[in-house]
A = this chain, B = another copy of it.
């Protein structure tokens, strides 16, 4: 934002204003003051389902206008980007309409609730790309500096041949059986439970960090608490047919376990759960290679642990790299070493990369095709789990994708 006169404006319209909407807002507001962006984002309009709540949200989150009609954003000339932060069941409709209207799209993960929706979205993105319209799916964790550093170390060959991926995403926010029904616990709205919500992140990360794709999986899912109390006045936010009951049926997984093989020969274990009592946001991933290993836990998000197997055994050990050095990805614009970043910074980095991709006419990453591939893994997991953990292959990337 050093010189406004040379910097074209990029109007942004946000759809959805709860958790994801709030953190995206902070990212849109913050990124320009730290990164040298080639375009100047303008927080132009926010859309929600309810006009009053959308107006309140726009005021609170810092958007210039609000509406209860997201479609109205598509006709505005002052909006160049649609940022989709709604539940998964509306991703396909909103993103496809936005892309057809020539708007760049940043869409939260998981890309969709089904593979079919995701395929339609990829088709729309591919078509729009022909006109220079960009699309990106929001796997924000890729942009935690420690994980971006991990990717760099792997790409530089520091791990050698990767043999193991061990990934888990552990939360505990619904351990209490009195925790009420919400849209995230309904298949109709959320697609799946822990699997799509948090499992999608570790699938994406495992594939991103290894630069390899899962070829097949075997899976098991479980729902520990099958009925939950409905919240007061629950009808509006929940899928239809649930409002007249005192409890509602949980129709998604509480936990998903699976293992798989990667195309390049590595094996991997995965666990996503909302029942790991005491684990708040423990997104953990460990890679073991012939020349080294890496380990990460989001509960200590500024640390990357690296074991360099080329060092003599007598001096070897997992090394706690504080990913806060100027030489680490994204870090130079922030604070001095040891002055850690937080969760929201992953989104500021995402905005930076997205804006630069738009400005420089290149495809941002992860693409909708990446999002579709993750969706195919999710579907394979659900399919395997529904059929006695049968081994289930993942369609090869690009093979019959659309």
Contacts and interface: CB of A to CB of B under 8 A. Distances in A.
Interface string A247-261: 000000001011101
Contact of A341 (B300, B317, B343, B391): B343
A281 B168 contact: no
Nearest to A389: B218
Interface in A307-344: 307, 309, 312-322, 324-328, 335-344
Q: Which size bracket describes the interface of A in this complex?
A: 35 or more
Most central of A276, A292, A343, A391 by chain B CB within 10 Å? A343
Contacts of A273: 164, 288
Contacts of A59: 1-4
B163 A307 contact: no
A388 interface: yes
A222 B267 contact: yes
B255 A163 contact: yes
Given A220-B218, A224-B163, A339 B2 contact: no
Contacts of A336: 19, 173, 280-281
Interface string A118-148: 0000000000000000000000000000000
B289 A164 contact: no
A26 interface: yes
A129 B167 CA distance: 46
Contacts of A164: 255, 271, 273, 275-276
A240 B247 CA distance: 66
A25 B2 CA distance: 15
Nearest to A301: B340
Given A60-B33, A328-B314, A277 B255 contact: no
A319 B306 CA distance: 9
Nearest to A344: B335
Contact of A315 (B166, B306, B314, B316): B306
A224 B327 CA distance: 27
Given A316-B321, A320-B320, A345-B342, A337 B33 contact: no
5 contacts: A2-B59, A257-B259, A278-B316, A279-B338, A342-B342
B322 A319 contact: no
Interface in A61-112: 61-62
Nearest to A56: B2
4 nearest A-B pairs in the assembled complex, by CB-CB distance: A281-B338, A280-B338, A278-B307, A342-B342
